[in-house]
Every structure is written in structure tokens, then in C-alpha cells.
Amino acid sequence: MAQIGDVAKLAGVSSATVSRVINGSAKVNEEKVKRVMEAIEVTGFKPNEIARSLYKKSSRIIGYIVPSILNIFLNEIGRAIEDEAFQNGYKMILCNSDENPKKEAAYIQMLTAMNADGIIITANNDNLDEEIRNCPLPIVVLDKEASSRYTAVVQSDNYSGGRISTEHLLECGCRHPVLMRGPQKYSSGRQRFLGYVDVCNEHGIQPLFIDSQFSSNDGLRCTQELLERFPYADGILAVNDMTVLSIYKVLSARGRRVPEDIMIVGYDGVELGGLMNPALTTVMQPIEEIGRLSAKIIIDQVEDKNPDCRENILPVQLKVRQTTRSQAGNEA
């Protein structure tokens, strides 16, 4: 394996000059830079990334901390983050907090110690501001209101999502739509709930809801509770697309047909929704844009470009498929 001395010898410069070229730590004349770069290519020399990260206080790594790697929506965002990062010469590290604030804090400390260039995080607790108090890294937060401690917030328009999903069920003829209300510790859960309640009030419909988590197992529990508390429910607004599989299972066991007996609208727009049978009507979040924008904000900070906006709220849209149908009975 080629060493820095091999590059220096071939380029006719000192090892210190090679180091300056690699790290950009001092100005080197263009002719020497050219010789060093040609020598690096010829020798196949690969700089020690660990040493470079210690010297430059940059490892070209972006941390992505999520409450659960079982959440398909967060995985799809992570895929977009990784792609945007890689295209710009960065790597992504995925950290699973298991909704444990102590693990979350430990990962923030780890990423800081390894000179990561920034952190993208979906926080599940109210102590995030305290956890990042001494963190010098850029922080992009998903699913939380803006704060002076964060570099930026990126999320979709959850209030509009709550509204358009409820309005669609009412347009389809539902008069007793029940919301699987997401955790109110997340701004997404609060905003979707507010959108749902506002539409119900505008139409003189009684708001009905069940508190839910984002997991499939909790989807089973919530669907059973929903049908017991509201046996007359004719529509379900799922907490996310992933829980719809659980909803299907419970409805099927009870002989309830979709959409003939009860309609369903999901939330997120993950690829799984189009593969379900019947295919899922859902609120599409701009997953690719959320991930790419989050990574771009970190990269811009590292490269001394200020992000365009501190609070980024991206639009959503309704994707109508087979789990809802018009009042006329035509499959949507």
C-alpha cells in the first residue's frame, strides 16, 4: 500500500507539502498541487480518513438518529439522506434510539466525538434541547417545531394532511370517520389531529379518535379498540401506512370489507401502500425531498453556506386508490 512518502518522492515535493494538498491546510502553488494529485493517482495512495478527521475536525459523516428502524417511512427518508450525502462525498451513519432518550443522548455524544459533520434526528422526547446544549454540530430536526438550538427543521405540512384525508372520507360519504391519533409528543401528531378536528367541526361531524403509536403491533390493539368503542365507524384515518396491514387483519377477522363496509386512508406514502390489496389511499409525504433537503442543509453548513430557511414545511398530496370510493359507488 502506497505511503505519503511515495507520493512525495514521485511528485518531487516534501511529505508536508503532500499533507497540505490533501488537507487543504495551507496554500500550495498550482504546479505542485498538480504534481501531487498526479502522483496520488499513479500510486493509488489513499489518505487515512481517521487522521484527516482528527486534523480537520471533519469525518465527512452525517448521523441519522431515528426512534425505530422498523418504521418504513423513516427508512425511506434515510435512503434519500444517504443518497444525497454520498453524491456529495459524505457517508451516513444510522443510529436507532429505540425511543430511549438515554440512547439518543449517547448517540449524539458519539457522533460529536467522532467529528461527524452534522446530525439529522427525529426526537421522541422533550429533552432534546438539553441533549444538544453542548453539541457543536449542525442539527436538523424532523417532526418538531423550530428552535433556536437547531440549525433547521424539516417536515411536511401535517395540518394540511389531516385536513385533506378527513375531507376525502367525508366526500366519499363517511359520517363517522375515526382518527388513529399519533403521539402528541410529535408535532406531526398534534397538527394532523388539529386538521382532522377542524374539518369535523366545519361539517358538524363529531370528532372520534383512538390514541395510537406508529407500530404494527399497536395497530392491532388500536383497531380492536376502535371497533369496540365505535362499532358504527365507516372510515379510519390510519396513523401511518404501516399500521394499515394490522387494520386489514382485524377487519378481515371480523368480516368487515374494505371499502364497502369501512374506508381507510393511510399516511406517509411509502411504497408498501401501492402493494397492499386493496391498494391504499394515502396522504403522500414528500419523502425524497425531506431526506435530500435535510442532508443538503448539513452539507451547506459544513461548506459555509447558510441554509435558505430555518423552518421548512413541505406540501403533501392525497393519493386516491382502492380503500376509498365515491358516494356513487365507483371505486376511487
CATH code for the domain of 251:
3.40.50.2300
Give me the pLDDT at residue 332, please: 39
Residues 281 and 294 in one domain: no
Q: Is residue 262 part of a domain?
A: yes
Bridging pattern class, strands 311-314 and 317-319: unpaired
Q: What is the mean pLDDT of residues 222-227?
A: 97
Last residue of a domain, one of 265, 285, 305: 285
Residue 25: the pLDDT is: 56
Query: Within this chain, do residues 217 and 241 fall inside the same structural domain, yes or no?
Result: yes
- What is the arrangement of strands in the sheet containing 208-211, beginning at the earlier edge strand? 208-211, 177-181, 235-237, 263-268, 281-284, 317-319
Residue 326 located in a structural domain:
no
- Looking at the domain assignment, is residue 279 inside a domain? yes
> Both 36 and 122 in a single domain?
no
pLDDT at 330 over 50: no
User: For a pLDDT cut of 70, what percent of the chain falls above it?
Assistant: 89
What is the rounded average pLDDT of the residues 224-248? 97
Q: Which of 262, 217, 268, 263 is nearest to 243 (CA)?
A: 217
Query: Model-level pTM greater than 0.85?
Result: no
Residue 308 has phi, psi (to 5 degrees) of -60, -40
Q: Is 298 a domain residue?
A: yes
State whether 67 and 166 are in the same domain: no
Q: Give the pLDDT band (50/70/90) at residue 331.
A: very low
Residues 270 and 163 in one domain: yes
Average pLDDT, the chain: 89
In the three-class reduction of DSSP (H, G, I as helix; E, B as strand; rest coil), residue 210 is classed as strand
- pLDDT value, residue 324: 97
Domain count for the chain, please give it: 3
**How confident is the model at residue 311, as a pLDDT?**
85
Instruction: Encode pLDDT of 8-66 as tens digits.
Output: 899 999 988 887 777 665 678 889 888 988 988 888 887 765 555 545 566 789 999 99
pLDDT (average), residues 169-183: 96
175 and 222 within one domain: yes
**Which residue in this structure is represented by grid cell 457522533?**
111
Inside any domain, residue 322: no
Spatial distance between the Cα atoms of 166 and 120, rounded to a whole number of angstroms? 31
SS3 percent helix, strand, coil of the chain, rounded to 5, is: 45, 15, 40
* 220 inside domain: yes
Query: Does pLDDT of 145 surpass 90?
Result: no
CATH number of the domain to which 23 belongs? 1.10.260.40
For the ranges 52-61, 110-119, 150-159, 317-326, which has the lowest average pLDDT?
52-61
Answer yes or no: do 144 and 229 share one domain: no
Whether residue 56 is contained in a domain is answered as no
Residue 250 pLDDT:
97
**Neighbouring-strand partners of residue 119:** 63, 139
Shared domain check, 260 and 225: yes
Q: How many CB atoms lie within 10 A of CB 1?
A: 7
Domain of 230, in residue numbers: 158-285
φ, ψ of residue 61 to 5 degrees: the values are: -125, 140
Both 162 and 281 in one domain: the answer is yes
**pLDDT value at position 101?**
86
Within a domain: 69: yes
So what's the pLDDT on residue 53?
53
Which class for 128: exposed (0-12), middle (13-18), buried (19 or more C-beta within 10 A)?
buried
* Cβ–Cβ < 8 Å for 262, 251: yes
Please give the span between the terminal C-alpha atoms of the chain, in angstroms, as a whole number: 62
Query: Are 294 and 223 in a shared domain?
Result: no
Q: For 288-322, what is each residue's pLDDT tens digit?
A: 999 999 999 999 988 876 655 688 999 999 999 99
- Domain identity same for 42 and 185: no
What is the phi/psi pair of residue 182, to 5°? Answer: -70, 165
Answer yes or no: do 183 and 272 share one domain: yes
